[in-house]
Structure 1
Amino acid sequence: MKPVHQPESLGFDPKRLEYITDWMKRYVDGGKLAGTQTLIARSGKIAYHQSIGQADRESGLPWKNDTMARFYSMTKPITSVALMMLYEKGLFHLDDPLEEFIPAFKNMQVLRPQARSIEDTEPAKAKITVHNLLTHMSGMTYGFNEGVLGKHYDASKMDFGPTRGSLESQIEKLAEMPLQFNPGTRWNYGVSTDVVGRLVEIISGQDLKSYFHDNIFSPLGMVDTDFGIPKEKINRYATAYGADETGALMVMDPAGKSAFRKENVACYSGGGGLISTASDYLKFAEMLRCRGAYDGGQLLGPRTVDFMMENHLDGDLAQYGQAVFSEVSFVGVGFGLGGWVMMDPPLSQMMGSPGDFGWGGMASTVFWVDPMEDMTVLFLTQFIPSSHYPLRKELRSLVYQAMVD
């Protein structure tokens, strides 16, 4: 990890940065979170980096700066970058139909309006495109989402969990299910990025794990990022918690018996399968801030990164049927290729800058890059679900209030 610099030299008030430390301590001391970590960098230099609490309360393992955690949906921006690296080689077009790569997605069915059963369908009026997948406008969903299809996903265990089977087999199973709506008509958070991961495999000829390692992790020096936690690193791995009916912490996925142990991983989920650290993920986020550049090379072309971090919707997410997601208002927030795009901070009622880009994970993790302020922010904890506490909204106000230059 890079050294922490004097905050004043990077435009931060040290006393105001301590508000973030106090905030993390309140959550930990109040028994709401076991451990937390916040990292803020500006112009490539770290202005603030603190870890509070425990990675595993049962053993007393402290949360350290090198603690490893489940990043869940923060895998999605990485998978999106992987596909766009292939796009830069001219190997596909964003408007290509998905069925050209995976024939099982031909002749898709879509649920009728007010459908009460999974059989109440009609032929889809449009084909799923690659762009639909990258922007979550494919008609796919998640099992935790409301509605007939969400319940069907949940009952069918269509979640691309680490032990479900190969990515290829899970995609074939997914193709047998109807869509929530006609592709391109709405935004709905779902398993689209897992299909993006499968496209990476098909187009590149490599499995997703190998492609990530060879083309992203190795060039960026992300030595602790992988699908699954190896035995030799289990002593750095955090337990995932949730809250019981009284609000007390309860174990959801114990570190020592985690479903993400490397020997158990069968599915390389491009939508949520990666284990990583703050140090590693910072390298990926900084690559985005630097418009594809990193020490020693260029992962993506600058204009490709700009293109990904632009809003690809005709309006904000609220206009596309998603007013609130994971405790954050989506009014004034758009979506690019793999992450949110802040359009109008006052309209969103959240601190930020037009054009800031990022995403979070199910265990309440989040990151964003702010090109206007030349800043990268990363927050880690392991609490499921991410909608339980307003952590992301609070963190935004804490970060921006500390900036004095």
Structure 2
Amino acid sequence: MGAMTETDPRAAGVCPERLARIAPWMDRLVAEGRLAGLSVTMQRRGQTVFARACGQADRDRGTPFTLDTVTRIYSMTKPLTSVAVMQLYEQGLFQLDDPVARFLPEFAEMRVAVGGNRAKIETEPARRAITVRDLLTHTAGLTYGFMEATLVDAAYREKGIDFLAREGTLAEMTARTAAMPLLAQPGSAWNYSVATDVLGHLVAVLSGRPFADYLREEVIAPLGMADTDFHVRPDLMPRFCACYIYDRERKLRRYDDSVETAYAQPPAIASGGGGLVSTAGDYHRFCRMILNGGEIDGRRLLGRKTVSLMLANHLGGDLASMGTPRFAETSYTGIGFGLGFSVMLDPAAAQIVGSPGEVAWGGLASTAFWIDPSEDLAVVLMTQLIPSSALPIRKELRVLTYAALVD
């Protein structure tokens, strides 16, 4: 999708003077060397009221960061995968409380870690089966190897459980995951995990099509997300950006090149949890579909009641009440989780401006989005800095954007 065009913000109930605070904030981030480049885009009441990019997509090559720069969106892939899952739900192929083992038998008779050491993890039987909803809400007891906090995390690393790996298959990686002990009893705790990658394999099994094909044909293409895929097409490579990390002196250092990159080729495994690249304009298409209750430009991807179900909190309380989360692309207090998104429950408890019912998520490289149905608002932040916890830019941007709403 091409560059987004701004309209008069006043027509959408947004104050131009307050909105103008975002640009100098962006410029400072680049001038101070905290980010190489970024874009911020904001839509309200179906109109683009702010669309700006600054800085560089590749500092070594002097490539500017633009509104149509192609970025690695990592975990912002998860909501699209969740939409694919719920499309199959609408076709009557499963129920949310169905055991996953009904479709993926490798998840039968799971065991849960209760102690031990690196040489031998002590386990007990799972008290109940993992359900599809457990996977959608990260309450299945799965984890990520990069957490480096528990024996199960270490076991994931030792067994090479990485859905962004450049070899193997989605089915093989899912089977490897199912062979691991669970971190917690199913449904008992919230733990960010490879669950959405497993859901990608579930989509493949239920649809009878490779997951990447299904997502492209049934979600990405109908949404009109022309620049979104699991790799960067040759014609899009000039718009692809480099990715950065901080060195020990907090200076930006290149993590992945914009040209010499694995993203130039299709991956062995299509990661439903973190494999996509996209643009600001493309991701706004997804946000607009959610705001419209499952439809965009006359094309319906989901029923409005299904979207409402996805946007509801499916936890017993907030993330903080579901054990002790070790990592998330959001804060824990006052934030719940739906079917593929975090859900704002209480802005005061979360200590950030926002609206109850607003959904959001982010990616490893500091990208983020949020969708606020009560305000008919969507904001997308694109940049490329790993990890996403390196800067508080998401919170800062939330304050800047919400402060501009006047009607």
Q: How far is 1:100 from its partner?
A: 1.1
C-alpha distance after superposition, 1:14-59 (max 9, x if no partner): 2221221111111111111101010000011100001010000010
Mapped pair 1:384 → 2:379: no
Q: How far is 1:113 from its partner?
A: 4.7
Aligned to 1:148: 151
Residue 190 of structure 1: SS of its match in structure 2?
A: coil
Letter in 2 for 1:274: L
Q: How does 1:2-401 map to 2 (within 5 A)?
A: 2-113=4-115, 118-145=120-147, 146-263=149-266, 265-322=267-324, 325-326=327-328, 328-401=330-403
Judged with a 3 Å threshold, the aligned counterparts in structure 2 of structure 1 residues 49 and 227 are, in CA distance, closer, same or farther, namely: same
Judged with a 3 Å threshold, the aligned counterparts in structure 2 of structure 1 residues 203 and 326 are, in CA distance, closer, same or farther, namely: closer
**Which aligned segments of 4 or more residues in structure 1 are displaced greater than 3 angstroms?**
113-118, 322-328
Residue 112 of structure 1: SS of its match in structure 2?
A: strand
Q: How far is 1:156 from its partner?
A: 3.0
Contact 2:5–2:51 under 8 Å retained in 1: no
Structure 1 gaps, min length 5? none
Q: TM-score, normalised by structure 1?
A: 0.97
Letter in 1 for 2:174: I
Contact 1:334–1:341 under 8 Å retained in 2: yes
In 1, the alpha carbon distance for the partners of 2:190 and 2:369 equals 21
- Deviates further, 265-274 or 160-169: 160-169
In 2, the alpha carbon distance for the partners of 1:227 and 1:286 equals 22
Q: How far is 1:220 from its partner?
A: 1.4
Structure 2 gaps, min length 5? none
Residue 38 of structure 1: SS of its match in structure 2?
A: strand
In 1, the alpha carbon distance for the partners of 2:239 and 2:103 equals 39
Letter in 1 for 2:249: T
Contact 2:192–2:328 under 8 Å retained in 1: no
Contact 1:327–1:389 under 8 Å retained in 2: no
Judged with a 3 Å threshold, the aligned counterparts in structure 2 of structure 1 residues 23 and 164 are, in CA distance, closer, same or farther, namely: farther
- Deviates further, 112-121 or 254-263: 112-121
Q: How far is 1:118 from its partner?
A: 5.0
Letter in 2 for 1:333: I
In 1, the alpha carbon distance for the partners of 2:277 and 2:301 equals 21
Judged with a 3 Å threshold, the aligned counterparts in structure 2 of structure 1 residues 325 and 402 are, in CA distance, closer, same or farther, namely: farther
In 1, the alpha carbon distance for the partners of 2:188 and 2:309 equals 21
Contact 1:124–1:182 under 8 Å retained in 2: yes
Judged with a 3 Å threshold, the aligned counterparts in structure 2 of structure 1 residues 230 and 162 are, in CA distance, closer, same or farther, namely: farther
In 2, the alpha carbon distance for the partners of 1:313 and 1:339 equals 12
Residue 67 of structure 1: SS of its match in structure 2?
A: coil
Q: TM-score, normalised by structure 2?
A: 0.96
Residue 257 of structure 1: SS of its match in structure 2?
A: coil
